[in-house]
Amino acid sequence: MDEPEIAPGPFLEAAEARLLETSTDANRADWVYQTHITEDTEQLSARALARLIAETTDLARRSTHFRSEDLSPVESRKFRLLRLSLPLVAPGDPHDSEELTRRTIAMSSTFARGRYAPHGTSDPLDLQALSRILEENRNPTVLEDVWTGWHRIGRAIRPDFQRYVELANRGARELGFSDLGAMWRSKYDMPPDEFARETDRLWKDVEPLYRSLHAYVRRRLREAYGPDRVPDKEPIPAYLLGNMWAQSWEAILPWLARDLGEPTYDLTQLLRDHHVSPAEIVRFGERFFVSIGFDPLPTTFWTRSMFTRPAGRDVVCHASAWDVDFDDDLRLKMCLEITGEDFMVVHHELGHNYYQRAYRRQPFLFRESAHDGFHEAVGDTIALSITPEYLREIGLLSESPESGGDIALLLRRALEKVAFLPFGLVVDEWRWRVFSGEVGPAEYNRSWWEMREARQGVAPPPGRDEVEFDAGAKYHVPANVPYMRYFLAHILQFQFHQALVRAAGLSGPLHRSSIYGSAAAGARLRAMLEMGESREWPDALETLTGSRRMDAGPLLEYFAPLRRWLDEQNRGTTLGW
Ligand code: ASP
Ligand code: SER
Ligand code: ZN
């Protein structure tokens, strides 16, 4: 082994300075690409990404020359994070590495350009417009057509995905991981296998609640669509759940509402009644953070962000939050529409921005969340404080439903959050098997549906053979974004919410508690955000919640009244599929 030319301290200092510069360059190129897709921006972005990957990989390789006994705890943590800092590493061969970044960007562009003209029309619609139809239309033939039409996108993505798996695995192996999935699982301050057991444990805790919700929803859909389309004891057709991936089901709440006999409200309607603009939705989010003691967003956030879909060019519409220079150049990129769902997404994204800003004083390699589930959980935690009382306080709702409306409120949240849990789990359980080689290209689609059926209890329309590549129809697969983070975030946000509600001195039920305006809750949250990734995640979790373990208990507590109601509704119904 070569002798290191310098001591670990100066090596890291130089490495962090270089990575800051290269990452900022890559962010700028990527921003221009994602907000204006052309052949040129594609190439510029691919090249900037290739440079970042090459540099990170090179530093990571050189870092293995230091002997661990020569490193301080902070230094060895930084070296570990350096190896894990990107979701993709390049193989040493420059041709391979060029092909990998080119194919990765190609998948992203194919996805972003996807359009489908529903049967009997000639107007090609984008994913957002197709999604609106799935949410609002109740004709099963139309729903199946729109679902199938969007999923055609997978066919075009499949060849690039297959090569990307080979090349990305090659890169991960050269860095000492068994495959890219193992590399992703190594980011949680515990051995990769132990992490997989952890996600299993959390799922076991919430699975009974999910099955109860599933059985109730299936029975109501069967009443609506008939037993031929929604048979008893079978998985639910994926296109009937009001979402392209059947990942959250709040769009079908109106179908269930007549059961409830309770007053509720429709956030989409409230926003439209009040003529709220896209920028005003973002202002609502900012004001929430300000109310608990955070600073207003920088002026450049408002001038540089993209809030709505621009006319006349292709963009990556999937919402994301940016921290371009790892300091104060925060941005939001969204194709915002005036809906309750996007109101929540704005809070989700601002959670990322406020996290990024809170840890910007950390050394470069610690400017990250405690683990990636933390990043995804912060904005959602704030959104759990969007209670009827909060909406009344900010003037959107004229009177809040009395506590009699609790089942309606909880059911809406469960359709959003509980329905999501098995989907949040299965996307990466599937990719882990793909990266490890357990699932090969000849069975991509079959295994995808077997696993989705087993976890979620949903099924595709007939005929999804291996010409199709249905996993490719979900953004994060072509975009190479790990997904287990969202499962973890859906558990963590209830833990965070419970802790912050207590810090705010509130004693009502969790689903009726809002931390809006609580400086005490804000200070507790900020203390954790400022730590960034400087400590192992159990330390960060403890700072906020007092506990060192991820725990589904608060989620179960939040939904306990609904669970009792669902179990009552399900009496005499067979659960499962
Ligand atoms: N809201 C999007 C999603 O979670 C993007 C993000 O993570 O910020 O996929
Ligand atoms: N934002 C993530 C998605 O769109 C998780 O909700 O899938
Ligand atoms: Zn996110």
Query: Domain boundaries in the chain?
Result: 117-151
Mutate to test the pocket of ligand 1, among 34, 322, 349 (most ligand atoms within 8 A of CB): 349
Q: Is the CB of 345 under 6 A from ligand 1?
A: yes
Which residues is 323 bridged to in the sheet?
Answer: 330
**Which residues are close to ligand 3, an ion, with C-beta < 5 A?**
376
The pLDDT assigned to 2 comes to 54
372 in contact with ligand 1, CB cutoff 6 A: no
Cα 292 from chain centre: 24
Instruction: Give start and end residues of each alpha helix (H) in 35-72.
Output: 39-63
pLDDT of residue 240: 98
8-state DSSP, 338: S
Candidates 67, 58, 85; CA nearest to 174 is 58
Q: Could you tell me which residues are beta bridge partners of residue 409?
A: none
CA angle 242, 248, 253 (to 5 degrees): 55
Helix, strand counts (H, E) of the chain? 24, 4
- 167 CA → ligand 1 middle, Å: 26
In 3D space, the residue among 326, 322, 331 whose CA is nearest the CA of residue 363 turns out to be 326
As a whole number of angstroms, the distance between CA 79 and CA 373 comes to 21
Q: What percent of the chain has pLDDT over 90?
A: 93
Residues 429 and 487 sit within 8 Å (Cβ to Cβ):
no
- What integer pLDDT is reported at residue 402 of this predicted model? 65
Please choose, from the candidates 125, 116, 193, 196, the residue with its C-alpha nearest in 3D space to the C-alpha of residue 151: 116
Structure confidence at residue 90 (pLDDT): 86
Distance (angstroms) between ligand 3 centre and the Cα of 352 equals: 7
Cα first-last separation, the chain: 56
Residue 341: the pLDDT is 95
Q: How far, in Å, is the centroid of ligand 3 from the Cα of 320?
A: 7
Going from the Cα of 367 to the center of ligand 2, the distance in angstroms, rounded, reads: 22
Q: Could you give the CA distance from residue 464 to residue 474 in angstroms, rounded to a whole number?
A: 16
- Which of 331, 333, 348 is the pocket-test mutation for ligand 1 (most atoms within 8 Å of CB)? 348
Residue 558 parent element (H or E): helix 553-558
Q: Quick: pLDDT tens for 530-541.
A: 999 999 999 999
State the pLDDT at residue 264: 78
Closest-lying ligand 1 atom to the alpha carbon of residue 348: 1
Using a 6 Å cutoff on CB, does residue 270 contact ligand 1? no
Which of the residues in the chain have pLDDT under 50? 1
Rounded to 10 deg, the angle between the 153-174 and 94-112 helix axes is 150
| Residue pLDDT, tens place only, 257-272 | 666 776 678 899 999 9
**Is this model's pTM higher than 0.95 or not?**
yes
Kindly give, in sequence order, each residue whose CB lies less than 8 Å from that of residue 176, ignoring residues fewer than 6 positions away: 64, 83
Q: Whose CA is nearest to atom 8 of ligand 1?
A: 320
How far is Cα 86 from Cα 53, in angstroms, rounded to an integer?
Answer: 8
